[in-house]
Amino acid sequence: AARAPEPVSPGPTSETDPLRELWRRARAEPGARLWPIGLALVVQAALVPLEAMLLRGLLGVERELALEYQRLGLGVALGVVFALGLCLEAQCASALRQIGRLLSVRLHVELLSQLPRLPDDYLLSRPSSDMAARGNTIHLLRDLPAAWAQAARALLHVAATSAGLIWLDPAA
């Protein structure tokens, strides 16, 4: 005869911060290598002032770069910098999507494995729409790693821009 699964408590036994728990789970994913993503974000942030200086150089290019090969060199430098930024962005986006998918699938599997072990009293005390909404919103966690990276990118861009301004005018 088949045994019924043992009931489990409906909530966590200790108070944990949900974002901290999700960060821990994202780092623990087997395919999640976060240090290359972080390095790529730092390099992208360092490219921001470089791109700004190169684009600023385009404004007076006809006066400063009189020879054709000098203009060609500037064009190649611009192309290389922008292509590097684009490649880094594509790799980051791909890795973040993969981490988000892994995190979402793992949490979905955990939810589905815990549901049969929940006591009937707990399930009956909740509206079925609440339980369905919880199960159907797990897919939103796929975008969480990208949101974390966007926040880190914004902070790094502010830091890189500030460092560039300080370097240009240290007396200010």
Burial 74-84 (b: 16+ CB within 10 A, else e): beeeeeebeee
What is each CA distance from 61 to 53, 55, 56, 78, 164, in whole angstroms?
12, 10, 9, 13, 21
Mean pLDDT, residues 37-53 taken together: 86
The whole model's pTM is what? 0.71
Q: How far apart are CA 18 and CA 51, in angstroms?
A: 38
pLDDT tens per residue across span 126-136: 888 887 887 78
pLDDT tens per residue across span 49-106: 888 877 777 777 777 777 888 778 878 888 888 898 899 899 999 988 988 888 888 8
Dihedral sign, CA of 10, 11, 14, 18?
A: positive
